[in-house]
Amino acid sequence: MLKEFKNFILKGNVVDMAVGVVIGVAFGSVITAVVKDLVTPLIGIFGGTPDFSALYFTVNGSKFMIGEFINSLLSFLTVAAVIYFAVVVPMNKIMKKMEAGKSEDPTEKTCPECLSLIPIKAKRCKYCTAVVGNKA
């Protein structure tokens, strides 16, 4: 049972996922620091102090701290915007450029006898000399 667990833990995709989570947490803390130390003061320049932590309302003696929620929501939206514009948009551009370089029409087909790649218009395989039909 421990051997199976060890094999599961040491699989490549589990280790890759763990590394991704650790990097994600570190990236999140960096973005949170940027929001707290740079973006929030910039908001404060134009709209006053952007700290809403003291905002609350009371219903039947229960205090609802909506200010902390507003702070967390602003932080989340800022982190999401930074990730979108710093990661998603550039990756979409890179993927679009990679897809633009791909040819829509295949230029090669597989020989049914030896499974080698041969030109699409070939009638005979250049490796095993088998007669090849016109189908790819």
pLDDT single digits (tens) 47-65: 776 667 778 889 999 998 8
- Alpha carbon 46 to its chain centroid, in Å, reads 33
What percentage of the chain carries pLDDT values higher than 70?
A: 90
Tokens of 115: 């499974």
> Domains in the chain and their CATH numbers?
2-102 (1.10.1200.120), 105-136 (no CATH)
pLDDT of residue 46: 78
Average pLDDT over every residue of 117-131? 90
Spell out the alpha helix ranges (H) of the chain: 2-9, 12-34, 40-47, 66-83, 89-100
Residue among 22, 40, 41, 130 nearest 78 (CA): 40
Model pLDDT for residues 69-115, shown as the tens digit of each residue = 877 787 788 778 878 888 889 988 988 888 777 666 678 889 988 99
**Spatial separation of the C-alpha atoms in residues 36 and 84, rounded to whole Å:** 18
Q: Give the per-residue pLDDT at 58.
A: 92
At residue 135, the pLDDT reads 53
